[in-house]
Structure 1
Amino acid sequence: MIEQPIQQQSVQQSFDFVKSGAIKTRKEPIGERKKRLKLMLQWISKNESKIKAAVYQDFKKPASEVDISEIYPVTSEIKHALESLTSWAKPKKIDAPLSLLGTTSHIQYEPKGACLIIAPWNYPFSLAIGPLVSCLAAGNTAVIKPSEMTPNTSILIEEMISDLFDKEIVSVINGGVEVSQELLALPFDHIFFTGSPQVGKVVMKAAAENLTSVTLELGGKSPVIVDERTDISDAAEKIAWGKYLNNGQTCIAPDYALVHENIKDKFEEKLTTKVKELFSADETKIQDSPDYGRIVNAKHYARLTSLIDEAVSTGAEILFGGDANSDDNFIPPMALTNVSMNSRMMEEEIFGPVLPIISYNNLEEAIGIINSKPKPLALYYFGRSSKNRKKVLKETSSGNVCINDCVIHFGHANLPFGGVNNSGIGKAHGYYGFLAFSNEKGVLKQRIGLTSTKSIYPPYSNFKKLVIRILKKYL
């Protein structure tokens, strides 16, 4: 399906265009930003079939899954921004402290300028266009670098942007790692990167050379705790959906399950049942299911099968999961038990349809396992105990937490989404995405003539020293 790409300008030209455009857009009224968002919404509505076809060609993602994970997140983000942008962008009055009596202050939200959006391959449409919504809502211009691993979707994004925007507003540059390196060397005003922690470090290092601010949406091993007191069937169904969505190629997919030893057998039984209900009662038929996608390419297929082989060779047992097929980059939904904590499976982010199940005896043990690893992007807790839930929230650190469900917090328009430390820097979506692409400029206005601060100007008489002492003591 890959069509001839639109003739691209050079990396430097793209940067120069959006840098020039950023000077113009900062002067525009909010209405111009809304017009761009509406144009995006209209284009997506008219071209849904193209989006589904492109993503399917890249890794056979089912059409309904494209609807819920590629199209809906973007359209809902646009609609939320259109409803809320006037309020978000309105200057916010700030109360003055007594020490600055007589002044007035406010926060003014100004666009950062020319921004770079580097998108990943796992959700190639939504994770490129979603950040663009926040970027344009905040009044910026952008260069988008889609993933070279999903070429059909990348070409479609280039077509979309060419249809909608002048190159001074948004440009798309397709290419490989060398293109990303060229882009990162340029002095953008903000970089929004979605990808692995390893590449995130490279991005942050490059940004530091130009003192460019960054939003890094990374990943890591997002754990799920299944407490002894929970609805096992409900938990198994939700975990199965969240884990095997998009073949497990989701940055917030449950990476491993910590299940209380008293319910482990029942949980494994229910998980097996729920996977059959989702995809096929016959494991050998899942490859034919229209509701199950593929691994993105042979490289990632080989990485995943290597993780599985190494885990099995060190004692892990396959609970369920039929044969993989390298010709089709097909790996069925799998779950492993008795996985060694020292295996690569428990050290690396899996990013595929394989769920290690680890039993624990008490909550302290589960928390200890989580805290022994870098801070994850998400943490999931299934259970009825308010005490245990509060303990998990207090004693672990993660970008987000979802209780009695998984993955769905990504779609909550009013929640900040993002990681912490190894799993990311900065927040996105809705108002928080608007803030990520905005400079919160503090503005203070002082009265002319006599002011409270003049009472502490030199020369420092005894009276002024008294005023300073009172200021320190009481204010």
Structure 2
Amino acid sequence: MAEETVRELRASFAAGRTRSAEWRAEQLKGLIRMIDEKEAEISAALHEDLAKPHMESYLHEISLTKSSCKFALNGLKNWMKPEKIPASITTFPSSAQIVPEPLGVVLIISAWNYPFILSIDPVIGAIAAGNAVVLKPSEIAPATSSLLANLLPEYVDNSCIKVVEGGVPETTALLEQRWDKIFYTGNGTVARIVMAAAAKHLTPVALELGGKSPVVVDSNVDLHVAVKRIVVGKWGCNNGQACIAPDYIITTKSFAPELVASLKRVLQFTRLQDLIEEKRVADKIVYGGEADEEQLKIAPTLLLDVPQDSAIMTGGDIWALASYCDVEKTRKTLLPDPVSELCFQNKKLQGEFVANVPAGGMLVNDTALHLTNPYMPFGGVGDSGMGCYHGKFGFDCFSHKKGVLIRGFGGEANARYPPYTTEKQKILRGLIKGSFIALILALLGFPREKH
């Protein structure tokens, strides 16, 4: 089935169906209509998969996806235009441009935690760039996967955009095919499988993997506002199941008690228990830890000075605090390659962190909101991923930038042709150095060939 699906899409792409601005715009408009007409069904699927309230589904997935569609639709014609660039003196007279062209047939494998937006957002970029697409939604969010499989054919061109449902066997079969790009959202373990499969065909990949996102809190910030933003960024975003959600806090040792006290005042209830059962972690609890096994609920939990190699520092929604005193020490404390670095600091420290702390993206004095800016790239670095998307960056992610040089038949320079003489060498060296006199001599045909 996977082979047949790819063959059909390649035929559609080869026929040029996806290349016109009109086709691309029509698909984006179809996605907008789908969101408008099926909002209730989308919300119901998200609730079935993740127990998301309608308001959270609307704010975090439905509205953002619709905004992404509109942004791409409004920018599409400008994004598709060739970009004029300077031409070199060595090619005078000529013009040069960069032409974005679709890659071909692309595979998008999405994640379960935001199953609607993480499926459709990369599809928007792929469509805008003029590609044929296979979307493989996460089988761990089966209601949303089924919804997408049923709805998309009603609103977009099914000969060019297809949904393939299933689990590991179906994904494995898809990865055995040759693609022109693979976009994967998920974890590092599966990402390595994706890259290994892609390498067999020299297929480029984009990986959105997450990582442990730190929050660095300085002692001279507005603590009440900072803590509210940190808490809503943690437990207000999918109960912490988000790649951009804060994962651990770094602050000064002297300020830690005050920060913990402020966090206690604004915390709400959420889930998760097993990560705090590790013996060397249990005695680090400074708040929370209470659990209701019958209801599968656990109070938000704070731990102080947790060992970096403990399980709690590699997964979960329990919070750990570590101490820092300067930027250099903080860099050594941070777990590597977060998709998001979040800091609440004064302007001096802000500048130092922006300049010196590596991360996929950075947000100063808030959490999560950088995701909503379509003019900013969103992506990881190192272990948190490669490549970026959102807005025009999504268009670029699924485009090949083709350099095009255009010359006429005038301005022929004899110096570029054999036989090579000392005089010709001088002219060619002058051209390479940008000599205007050498250019004039070349255009005039000097030195003249002796007959």
**TM-score over 0.5 for the pair:** yes
Offset at residue 145 of structure 1 (A): 0.6
Question: Contact (CA 8 Å) 1:311, 1:344: kept in 2 or not?
Answer: no
Task: Pick the structure with greater CA Rg.
Answer: 2
CA distance in 1, matches of 2:292, 2:103: 47
Match of 1:366 among 318, 330, 338: 330
Report the CA distance between 1:364 and its aligned residue.
Answer: 2.6
- In structure 2, what is the Cα distance between the partners aligned to 1:29 and 1:61? 38
Question: Residue 114 of structure 1 contacts residue 189 of structure 1 at CA under 8 Å; is this kept in 2?
Answer: yes
After superposition, residues 205-220 of structure 1 pair within 5 angstroms as: 205-220=196-211
Match of residue 4 from structure 1 = none
Distance 1:55 1:468, change over 3 A: same
One-letter amino acid matched to 1:216? L
Residue in 2 aligned with 1:455?
415
Distance verdict in 2 for CA 1:469–1:360, change over 3 Å: same
Provide structure 1 residue ranges, at least 5 long, that are not aligned to the other structure.
1-9, 280-285, 287-291, 295-303
Label 1:394 to 1:269 Cα distance change in 2 as closer, same or farther (>3 A): same
Q: Can you list the C-alpha shifts for 1:95-128, whole angstroms capped at 9, x where unaligned? A: 1122222111111111111110000001011100
Tell me the equivalent position of 1:468: 428
**Matching residue of 1:420:** 381
Paired residues for 1:17-28 under 5 Å: 17-25=8-16, 28=19
Alignment of 1:297-446 (within 5 A): 305-310=273-278, 313=281, 315-325=283-293, 328-346=295-313, 348=314, 350=315, 352-370=316-334, 373-384=335-346, 386-446=347-407
CA shift, 1:241, in A, is 0.8
Q: Which residue among 46, 70, 74 is the counterpart of 1:55? A: 46
Deviation at 1:416, TM superposition (A): 0.6
Q: Distance in 1 between matches of 2:292 and 2:244?
A: 23
2:252 counterpart residue number: 260
Question: Which residue type is aligned with residue 144 of structure 1?
Answer: L
Hey, what's the Cα distance between the residues in 1 that align with 2:417 and 2:285? 76
- CA distance 1:103–1:148, change in 2 (3 Å): same
The amino acid that maps onto 2:386 is I
Shift of 1:314: 6.0
Change beyond 3 A, Cα 1:424–1:237: same
Confirm or deny: 8 A CA contact 1:413 1:429 kept in the other structure: yes
Counterpart check, 1:171 vs 2:162: yes
Query: Are residue 194 (structure 1) and residue 194 (structure 2) matched?
Result: no
Cα distance in 1, alignment partners of residues 428 and 333 from structure 2: 53
Q: 1:178 to 1:318 in 2, by over 3 A?
A: farther
Deviation at 1:27, TM superposition (A): 6.2
Deviations 1:313-342 (A, max 9, x none): 4642141253143x5544443222231223
Q: Assess if the C-alpha contact under 8 Å between 1:367 and 1:392 holds in 2.
A: no
| Structure 2: distance between partners of 1:100 and 1:329 | 70
SS at match of 2:291: coil
Q: Distance in 2 between matches of 1:443 and 1:49?
A: 47
- The whole-number CA distance in structure 1 between the counterparts of 2:292 and 2:132 is 44
Q: How many residues align?
A: 434
Structure-2 residue corresponding to 1:116:
107
Normalised by the length of structure 1, the TM-score is: 0.87
Q: Aligned partners of 2:203, 2:139: CA distance in 1, in Å? A: 24
Structure 2 CA distance for aligned equivalents of residues 132 and 152 of structure 1: 19
Name the CA distance, whole Å, in 2 between partners of 1:468 and 1:450. Answer: 14
Q: How does 1:35-54 map to 2 (within 5 A)?
A: 35-54=26-45
| TM-aligned CA distance change 1:49 to 1:321, over 3 Å | farther
- Amino acid in the other structure paired with 1:442: G
**SS of residue in 2 equivalent to 1:255:** strand
Q: Distance in 2 between matches of 1:27 and 1:388?
A: 48
CA shift at 1:459, angstroms? 2.2
Would the alpha carbon gap of residues 329 and 145 (structure 1) be closer, same or farther in structure 2, given more than 3 Å must change?
farther
Q: Which moved more, 1:74-83 or 1:330-339?
A: 330-339
| Alpha-carbon spacing, 1:368–1:102, altered in 2? closer, same or farther (3 Å) | same
CA separation in 2, counterparts of 1:466 and 1:324? 85
The percent identity for this pair of structures is: 35
Structure 2: 5+ residue stretches without partners: 436-451
State the distance in 2 between where 1:199 and 1:85 align. 33
In structure 2, the partner of 1:91 is 82
Deviation at 1:13, TM superposition (A): 2.2
**1:222 corresponds to:** 213
Is the 2:90–2:434 Cα contact (8 Å) retained in structure 1? no
Query: Within 2, Cα distance between the matches of 1:59 and 1:312?
Result: 32
Contact 1:333/1:354, CA 8 A, preserved across alignment: yes
CA offset digits 1:291-316 (Å, max 9, x no partner): x6x7xxxxxxxxx6432212654642
Aligned to 1:283: none
In the alignment, the residues of structure 1 paired with residue 194 and residue 50 of structure 2 have an alpha-carbon distance, to the nearest angstrom, of 26
3-state SS, counterpart of residue 107 of structure 2: strand
Cα deviation 1:56-101 (Å, max 9, x = unaligned): 1112112111111111221010010111111111111111122222
Equivalent position amino acid for 1:401 in 2: M
